[in-house]
């Protein structure tokens, strides 16, 4: 089992920056890929970014968000710059094992999920 604890969400204005953190504990050998998803009210959960040996981003955040990880701390970060109201959502951290048939953009790629942290961006 892997436990994930997110932090760093909150209120921001358009153009502001926030940094989310997600610390993994437990069976950290299952954290080959670490990713972020988000879910806005009334919408499906969507892929935001992922990191393994490379980084991957959705088109909607590319150039504004940066994902990084510190393996020694089993922690993944999401630096969010130039926030927009449409970035308002609950952000979920997720981790997945090395072997999977699913792409990093799919929720099915990930084996463990955090509880989510709210990000609200006002205009």
pLDDT in tens, 23-66: 999 988 888 999 999 999 999 999 999 999 999 999 999 999 99
Closest CA to 82 of 68, 66, 64: 64
Distance CA 93, CA 48 (A): 10
First to last CA, the chain: 40
Neighbouring CB atoms inside 10 A of 35's CB total 27
**Averaged pLDDT of the chain:** 96
pLDDT, average across residues 63-82: 96
Q: What pLDDT sits at residue 28? A: 82
Distance CA 1, CA 31 (A): 11
Distance CA 9, CA 52 (A): 23
Distance CA 120, CA 11 (A): 5
Band of the pLDDT at 18, cuts 50, 70, 90?
A: very high
The conformation of residue 112, written as its DSSP 8-state character, comes to E
């Amino acid at each position: 089992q892997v436990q994930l604890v997110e932090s760093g969400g909150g209120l921001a204005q358009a153009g502001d920056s926030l940094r989310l953190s997600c610390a993994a504990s437990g069976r950290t050998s299952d954290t080959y890929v670490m990713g972020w998803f988000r879910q806005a009210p009334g919408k499906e959960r969507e892929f935001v970014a992922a990191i393994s040996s490379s980084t991957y981003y959705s088109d909607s955040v590319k150039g504004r968000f940066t994902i990084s990880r510190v393996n020694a701390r089993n922690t993944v970060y999401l630096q969010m710059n130039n926030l927009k109201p449409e970035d308002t959502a609950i952000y979920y951290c997720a981790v997945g094992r090395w072997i999977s048939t699913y792409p990093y953009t799919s929720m099915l790629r990930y084996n463990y999920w955090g509880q989510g942290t709210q990000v609200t961006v006002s205009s």
